[in-house]
């Protein structure tokens, strides 16, 4: 007998720690990456880069929460949070930035104008 998955339709897409991707990643919904990606990422919603994740490529998303490592430029159109374990080596453009103590950021930051109503 098959069991139904406990994952709801609102759960984010997940790339787990044992996964390595070489190439472009596109997601129309929220995405969490715990593995390694060599290539650009475009996410139309929230993107979470887990503590053990490593990204080598550019990122475009609405909201970014970084716990792992990114080597590339980031456009987080609405917000970006760099957690204490984060490492970002590249330029960052965002409307709202939060950096926890211990996070590492090497690059230039451009603050975008907030969209009206946000």
What Cα–Cα distance (Å) separates residue 4 from each residue in 1, 29, 30?
A: 10, 21, 22
Please tell me what DSSP assigns to residue 68.
Answer: S
Q: Find the largest Cα–Cα distance for the chain.
A: 55
Domain-by-domain residue ranges, the chain?
A: 13-99
For the ranges 2-6, 33-37, 76-80, the lowest mean pLDDT is seen at 2-6
Predicted TM-score (pTM) of the model is 0.87
Give yes or no for residue 77 having a pLDDT over 70: yes
Average per-residue pLDDT for the chain = 90
What's the rounded mean pLDDT across residues 98-107?
A: 98
CB neighbours of 98 closer than 8 A, spacing ≥ 6? 79, 80, 81, 82
Two tokens, residue 40: 């650009």
CB 92 within 8 A of CB 109: yes
């Amino acid at each position: 007998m098959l069991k139904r998955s406990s994952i709801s339709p609102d759960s984010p897409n997940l790339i787990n720690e044992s996964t390595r991707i070489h190439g472009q990643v596109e997601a129309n919904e929220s995405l969490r990456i715990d593995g390694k990606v060599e290539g650009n990422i475009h996410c139309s919603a929230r993107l979470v880069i887990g503590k053990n994740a490593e990204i080598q490529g550019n990122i475009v998303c609405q909201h970014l929460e970084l716990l792992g490592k990114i080597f590339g430029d980031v456009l987080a159109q609405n917000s970006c949070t760099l957690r204490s374990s984060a490492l970002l080596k590249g330029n960052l453009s965002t409307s709202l930035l939060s950096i926890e103590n211990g996070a590492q950021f090497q690059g230039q930051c451009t603050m975008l104008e907030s969209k009206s109503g946000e």
